[in-house]
Amino acid sequence: MPLINSPAELEKLRKGILAERDPEKRVVSICAGAGCVASGANEVIAAFGEELEKKGLDAHVDAKGTGCPGFCEQGPIVVIYPEEICYLQVTPGDVAEIVTETIEGDKVVERLLYLDSATGERATLEPEIPFYKHQLRNVIGDNIKIDPKSIEDYLVVGGYSALAKALSFMTPEDVLNEVKAANLRGRGGGGFPAGQKWEGTRDAPEPTKYVIVNADEGDPGAFMDRAVLEGNPHSILEGLALGAFAVGANEGYIYVRQEYPLAVENVLLAIEKAREYGLLGENILGSGFDFKVIVHKGAGAFVCGESTALMTALEGRVGEPRPKYVRSNIKGLWQKPSVLNNVETWANVPLIINKGADWFTQIGTEGSKGTKIFSLVGKIVNTGLVEVPMGMTLREIIYTIGGGIPDGKEFKAVQTGGPSGGCIPEEMLDLEVGFDELTKAGSMMGSGGMIVMDEDTCMVDVARYFMDFLCDESCGKCVPCREGLRQMLKLLTNITEGRGKEGDLELLEELSEVAGEAALCALGKSAPNPFRSTLKYFRDEYEAHIKEQRCPALSCKELIAFYIAPDKCSACGNCFKKCPADAIVGGKKLIHIVDQEKCTKCGNCFEVCPSRFSAVTKISGVPVPPPVPEEERTITGKSKEK
Amino acid sequence: MSEIILQIDGKEVRAEEGMTILEAALGAGITIPTLCHHEKLEPFGSCRLCSVEVGTGDRAKLVVACVYPVEEKLVVRTGSEKIDRIRKVILELYLAHAPDASSLQELALEYGADKDRFEKEASFCIHCGLCVRYCNEVKKKNAVGFVDRGTRKEICFVPEIASRECWDCKECFPLCPTEALQAAYVLIEALKFPRTP
C-alpha cells in the first residue's frame, strides 16, 4: 500500500480506484450490520459468493457486505447497483433466483420487493420505499455503498477529502470557525455546541490536548452509533482527525463498548488501513500534522457514557463521574484539555468541512441544525434507523417513515432520549424534533433513541422499568442517585403491584427534586425524568393503580386477571392446551374456566383464544366474576367451530 | 495566591484562590453540614449534604460546597427552604441504613428528618468513603475499597492486604460517621477469607 504524501497524491489514488471500477458493473450490497447479521446476512453473503462463482460471474459482479442502511425490520437487505434495486428479507435460498433473474436476466424478483401493505403496491428501487423516501440520510446514506472493511470504498465516496481540504487550504482556526458557524450541537445527549467546546480546548494554555469519541452507546433500544461505527468507521476517524487539527491535539481516543464486537473490529481495522495510507500517523498528507488514534474498550457500565466518568475510565480507574466543577474541555483526560463528542457528532464534521456551514445550517430548525439519526423501536411497523432533518415532527417520523403502530393498536406515547429522557403523549405528536423542543416537552433528544408505545403499555411500568435500569447502572457514588433511586424504584414497584398508597406520588416528586437538584452528575440529575414525564402526561394511570388497584393498560400482572366470558367460550380447547399452569378447567362442550388460584398470568390463553370468539379477556380493578356453576357449563346449540 | 472576596449568607468573606466554598465558610465561622468531608482528604462530593446555592436570580444553582471553588464576588447561600428540604431527604435516606448513628441523629434533629420515613435496610455503611479514601490517600495501603456499583455498592477490605496491615492501624475506624463497630465487622468478615498459602 503506497504512503500518501500530499492531497494531490490522495486525489490521484482516488481517481485510480475509480478508474478500476466500472460504474456500469453490477454490485450486490448486502447489509452486514449487526441486525442483518443476526437475521442471517452472513449466510446470504456467502451464498452470493458461491452462486456467482458457480456461474462464472464473480469477475463481473461484486458481492459485498456493507454498513447498515437502517431498515432493520426487513433485513437481511440486498441492494443491487447501479439500478438500486432493493430486496428485503433475503434468505440464502433466494440467492440463486436473484442471480438468474436480476443479474443475468435484468428482471426483478417481484416477491422480494418492498410491499406497501396499505396500497398493495411494490417498490423496486431503494429510494422509492416510503421508509427511505422521507429521510435525509447525510450521515448513514453511504453505509450501504461501503464495505466498512475497505478504505478504498470510503475513498470512492469522497472519503478523506475533507481532511485533505483542511490540511492544505485551511488553518485550524478556519476548521473551528466552520464548525462553530454550522452550530453543530452534540448528538450524544446534552446538545452542547461542539464548536464552543472545541474553542475552550483550543484556547486552553496546556499544550497537550486530546480528542475523544464517546462510543459508549448504552440507552436501551438505541443503536445509531453502532450503525455508524460498524458501517462507516472512516467517517468517524476523519471527523476526529479534523477536530484534532482544529484544537491542536495529536492523540485521539475511541471509547467503544465491548458489547459491540463488530464495531470494535471494524474501527480497529479502519485505523490500521488509514495508518498504512498515511491518513493517520505522522506528517499526515505531508502537512506536518501528526495524529494517532487509540481504541479503548469499555467494560459495560452505562455511566461511562457520562463524559467525566468516561475519562476516568480511560485513565484506567473505576468509571465514576468526577465531582469537579471544571469543564473537561479545559481539564479532562489526565487533567489535559479534552474534546469529547459522540460518534454521530464526529461523523458530521467531514460533511461540514466539505460542504460548508452554510449548507449545514440550511437543514434543520433555528436552534438545531443538520440531521439526526433516531433508532425507531418498540411498537412500530418499520423498526430501524432513520435519519431526518431536525424539525421533522414526531408524527412524520412515527407514521410516515415508521409506518405507524402494528396490529391496529392505538399509539400511546413515544419515549425519547433514553433513561434520561421522557415519554411524550399523543397530543404532542406534532412537536418538531429538536434539542430545545424535546427538553421543553419534558423529555430530551439524548442520543436519539425513540421507543414507541401502544395502548397495551402501562406508563407506570415504563417508569418502573427505567428506574430499575438506572438503579442497576448508577455508579453508586452520590446519595440522591444511589439512595434516592433505590427508594423511587421501591415506590414504583409497589404501585405496579397494587401496593401503592396515598402520598406515594408526592414522595416520588420529592425524591425527584432531590435527585434532579443535588445529584453529582447529569445522569443522576436526569434520572427522575421517566417518572416525571409519565406523571405529567399520564397521572390518571398512576391514580388508577393507587386508588383502584387498576392497571388501565391491562399490563401489570399483579393487577389483572384473565377471565373467560361464558357467553363467548366455544370450548375449542386452545387455552386449555396452552396453559402451562393447568389453570384452565376445560372439558368437551363445557365452558372453560380460569382457576384464578393457579393462574400465573402468562397470557397464553389470551394469545391463543381465536379472535372470532375473543372469549379470554383481561380485567383489572374489578372482582373476577364467580365461575359458571357446573350445571350451566354445557354448551348447547353451537358447534365447536363456528 | 491572590485574595478573593466573596459573600456567604450576606457576610463578606476573604478567601484564597483555590479554596473551596466550604473552606472559606469554615474560616469565617460559618457552618455547613458535611458527612463525607475530611480535611486531610481530597473532596469526594458524595453525600451532597453540603449543597449550597450560588449565584442570584435565574442564575442561581445548587453546588456542593466541598468541591466548588471560590470566585471573586461569588454570592453563596448556605441555607434556604429548598436546601433544607434537600438536606432533610438526604438524611432520611441515610437513616434507613443507619438509624442509630449519632452523627446522623444530631443532623436529623436540626433538619427535622424522620428516621422512619423510608423502610429500614440496615447496612450501617452510608458509602461516605472516608475509610476507603483515608487508606488510599493518607496511609497509601488500599486495604479497603468499594466493590460493585449502584444500589449494590459496598465497602470491602482486601483480605491479602488487610491481614498484613490492618491490625496495627485501624485508623479508619474512628472516621466512620455511622459506627466504628461496623468497620470492625467488615474487616473481620474479610479476614475470614481463606488465606492463600
Q: In the structure grid, which three cell numbers stand for residue B107, read together?
A: 443532623
Q: Which residue in B50, B129, B47, B53 sits closest to B93, CA to CA?
A: B47
Q: Which residue in A83, A81, A80, A70 sits closest to A44, CA to CA?
A: A80
CB A519: neighbour CB atoms within 10 A?
26
Q: How far apart (Å, rounded) are the C-alpha atoms in residues B184 and B120?
A: 22
Q: In the structure grid, which three cell numbers stand for residue A359, read together?
A: 449548507
The answer on B118 and B139 residing in a single domain is no
Whether residue B196 lies inside any domain: the answer is no
Q: In the structure grid, which three cell numbers stand for residue A22, read together?
A: 466500472
Q: Which residue in A163, A152, A45, A171 sits closest to A98, CA to CA?
A: A45
Phi/psi class of residue A339: alpha, beta or left (left: φ > 0; alpha: ψ in -120 to 50)?
beta
Residues A421, A422, A428: CA angle, nearest 5 degrees = 130
- Please answer yes or no on whether A483 and B93 come within 8 Å at the CB atom: yes
Please give the tally of structural domains in chain B.
3
DSSP A186: -
Pairing between β-strand A560-564 and β-strand A616-620 as defined by DSSP bridges: antiparallel
pLDDT of residue B98: 85
**Three-state secondary-structure class, residue B90:** helix
The answer on B118 and B84 residing in a single domain is yes
Q: Which residue in B80, B92, B64, B125 sits closest to A520, CA to CA?
A: B64
Are A365 and A54 within 8 A, CB to CB?
no
Interface test with B, best of A318, A324, A478, A485 (most B CBs within 10 A): A478
Interface test with A, best of B81, B89, B125 (most A CBs within 10 A): B89
Whether residue B45 lies inside any domain: the answer is yes
Distance from CA of A523 to the nearest CA of B (A): 12
- Please answer yes or no on whether A483 and B152 come within 8 Å at the CB atom: no
The answer on B17 and B61 residing in a single domain is yes
Nearest by CB: B149 against A476, A511, A520: A476
First to last CA, chain B: 54
pLDDT of residue A640: 44
pLDDT grade, residue A465 (50/70/90)?
very high
Over range A578-605, report the average pLDDT.
94
Nearest by CB: B69 against A325, A477, A510: A325
Residues A176, A180, A183: CA angle, nearest 5 degrees = 150
pLDDT grade, residue B56 (50/70/90)?
confident
Taking the Cβ of residue B82 and every Cβ of chain A, the question of whether any pair is shorter than 8 Å is answered with yes
Over range A547-556, report the average pLDDT.
96
Distance from CA of B10 to the nearest CA of A (A): 23
Secondary structure in 3-state letters for A4-41: CCCHHHHHHHHHHHHHHCCCCCEEEEEECCHHHHHCCH
Distance from CA of A503 to the nearest CA of B (A): 12
pLDDT grade, residue B140 (50/70/90)?
very high
Kindly list the residues from chain B whose CB atom is less than 8 angstroms away from the CB atom of residue A491: none
First to last CA, chain A: 73
**Is the per-residue pLDDT at A109 higher than 50?**
yes
The answer on B99 and B68 residing in a single domain is no
B77, β-bridge pairs: B53
Kindly list the residues from chain A whose CB atom is less than 8 angstroms away from the CB atom of residue B47: 478-479
Query: What digits encode the pLDDT tens for the residues A264-279?
Result: 999 999 999 999 999 9
Q: Which residue in A483, A624, A603, A489 sits closest to A555, CA to CA?
A: A603
Phi, psi of B61 (to 5 degrees): -145, 160
pLDDT of residue A299: 83
Average pLDDT of every residue of chain A: 94
Q: Which domains does chain A have, with CATH numbers?
A: 17-129 (3.40.30.10), 159-362 (3.40.50.11540), 371-454 (3.10.20.600), 459-548 (1.20.1440.230), 560-632 (3.30.70.20)
Taking the Cβ of residue A366 and every Cβ of chain B, the question of whether any pair is shorter than 8 Å is answered with no
Taking the Cβ of residue B55 and every Cβ of chain A, the question of whether any pair is shorter than 8 Å is answered with no
pLDDT of residue A1: 67
Query: What digits encode the pLDDT tens for the residues A184-226?
Result: 999 988 899 999 999 999 999 999 999 999 999 988 889 999 9
Taking the Cβ of residue B89 and every Cβ of chain A, the question of whether any pair is shorter than 8 Å is answered with yes
pLDDT of residue B86: 96
**Is the per-residue pLDDT at A123 higher than 50?**
yes
**Is the per-residue pLDDT at B59 higher than 80?**
yes
Domain boundary among B64, B92, B122: B122
Query: What digits encode the pLDDT tens for the residues A348-398?
Result: 999 999 999 999 999 999 999 999 999 999 999 999 999 999 999 999 999
- Please answer yes or no on whether B90 and A482 come within 8 Å at the CB atom: no
**Three-state secondary-structure class, residue B155:** strand
Q: How far apart (Å, rounded) are the C-alpha atoms in residues B60 and A328?
A: 22
Q: In the structure grid, which three cell numbers stand for residue B108, read together?
A: 436529623
Q: Which residue in A590, A582, A579, A584 sits closest to A638, CA to CA?
A: A590
% residues pLDDT > 70 (chain B) = 92
Residue B152 CA: distances (Å) to CA of A520, A554, B127, B158: 18, 32, 11, 18
Over range A46-75, report the average pLDDT.
93
- Please answer yes or no on whether B127 and A479 come within 8 Å at the CB atom: yes
- Please answer yes or no on whether A487 and B118 come within 8 Å at the CB atom: yes
- Please answer yes or no on whether B151 and A323 come within 8 Å at the CB atom: no
Phi, psi of A235 (to 5 degrees): -65, -30
Distance from CA of A128 to the nearest CA of B (A): 48
pLDDT of residue B84: 96
Lowest average pLDDT, out of A28-32, A46-50, A296-300, B32-36, goes to A296-300
**Is the per-residue pLDDT at A512 higher than 80?**
yes
- Please answer yes or no on whether B90 and A490 come within 8 Å at the CB atom: no
Are A70 and A227 within 8 A, CB to CB?
yes
pLDDT of residue A221: 87
Residue A524 CA: distances (Å) to CA of A216, A477, A484, A515, A607: 17, 10, 10, 6, 39
Kindly list the residues from chain B whose CB atom is less than 8 angstroms away from the CB atom of residue A323: 43-46, 64, 67
pLDDT of residue A140: 95
Interface test with B, best of A483, A486, A506, A525 (most B CBs within 10 A): A483
- Please answer yes or no on whether B48 and A323 come within 8 Å at the CB atom: no
The answer on B63 and B28 residing in a single domain is yes
Residues 6+ apart with CB under 8 A from B93: A479, A480, A483, A484, A487, B118
- Please answer yes or no on whether A484 and B149 come within 8 Å at the CB atom: no
Kindly list the residues from chain A whose CB atom is less than 8 angstroms away from the CB atom of residue B126: 479
**Is the per-residue pLDDT at B44 higher than 50?**
yes
Whether residue B96 lies inside any domain: the answer is yes
The answer on B42 and B7 residing in a single domain is yes
Distance from CA of A277 to the nearest CA of B (A): 43
Interface of B with A in 137-156 (CB under 8 A): 146, 148-153
Taking the Cβ of residue B99 and every Cβ of chain A, the question of whether any pair is shorter than 8 Å is answered with no
- Please answer yes or no on whether B45 and A303 come within 8 Å at the CB atom: no
**Is the per-residue pLDDT at A79 higher than 90?**
yes
The answer on B102 and B68 residing in a single domain is no
What is the number of residues in chain A?
642
Distance from CA of A306 to the nearest CA of B (A): 15
Specify burial of residue A250 (Cβ count, 10 A radius: 0-12, 13-18, 19+).
middle
**Is the per-residue pLDDT at B180 higher than 70?**
no
Whether residue B91 lies inside any domain: the answer is yes
- Please answer yes or no on whether A325 and B119 come within 8 Å at the CB atom: no
Interface of A with B in 502-541 (CB under 8 A): 510-511, 513-514, 517-520
pLDDT grade, residue B197 (50/70/90)?
very low
pLDDT of residue A116: 87
**Three-state secondary-structure class, residue A511:** helix
**CA closest to B52 among chain A residues:** A518
Query: What digits encode the pLDDT tens for the residues A134-144?
Result: 999 999 999 99
Are A237 and A293 within 8 A, CB to CB?
yes
The CATH number linked to B45 is 3.10.20.740
Taking the Cβ of residue B119 and every Cβ of chain A, the question of whether any pair is shorter than 8 Å is answered with yes
pLDDT of residue A459: 97
Kindly list the residues from chain A whose CB atom is less than 8 angstroms away from the CB atom of residue B64: 323, 520
Are A312 and A320 within 8 A, CB to CB?
yes
Query: What digits encode the pLDDT tens for the residues A274-306?
Result: 999 999 999 999 999 999 999 999 987 889 889
pLDDT grade, residue A639 (50/70/90)?
very low
Strand runs labelled E in A67-193? 78-81, 85-87, 114-115, 122-123
Interface of A with B in 462-501 (CB under 8 A): 471-480, 482-487, 490
B7, β-bridge pairs: B12, B75
Over range A61-86, report the average pLDDT.
94
Task: Give the residue ranges of DSSP H helices in A55-134.
Answer: 95-98, 130-133
Q: How far apart (Å, rounded) are the C-alpha atoms in residues A601 and A581?
A: 9
Whether residue B150 lies inside any domain: the answer is yes
Give the domain extent around B92.
Answer: 80-122
Are A575 and A564 within 8 A, CB to CB?
yes
Taking the Cβ of residue A285 and every Cβ of chain B, the question of whether any pair is shorter than 8 Å is answered with no
- Please answer yes or no on whether A520 and B149 come within 8 Å at the CB atom: no
- Which residue did the predictor score with more confidence, B101 or A216? A216
Whether residue B168 lies inside any domain: the answer is yes
Q: How far apart (Å, rounded) are the C-alpha atoms in residues A373 and A348?
A: 11
Whether residue B197 lies inside any domain: the answer is no
* Residue whose cell numbers read 465514576: A320
| ipTM of this predicted structure | 0.92
pLDDT of residue A435: 93
Distance from CA of B168 to the nearest CA of A (A): 29
pLDDT grade, residue B37 (50/70/90)?
very high
Nearest by CB: B149 against A475, A484, A518: A475
Q: Which residue in A347, A393, A369 sits closest to A134, CA to CA?
A: A393
pLDDT of residue A187: 93
Nearest by CB: A518 against B86, B118, B150: B86
Over range A316-323, report the average pLDDT.
90
Domain boundary among B122, B146, B178: B122
pLDDT of residue B174: 87
Kindly list the residues from chain A whose CB atom is less than 8 angstroms away from the CB atom of residue B148: 476
The answer on B149 and B87 residing in a single domain is no
% residues pLDDT > 90 (chain A) = 88
Whether residue B106 lies inside any domain: the answer is yes
Distance from CA of B148 to the nearest CA of A (A): 9
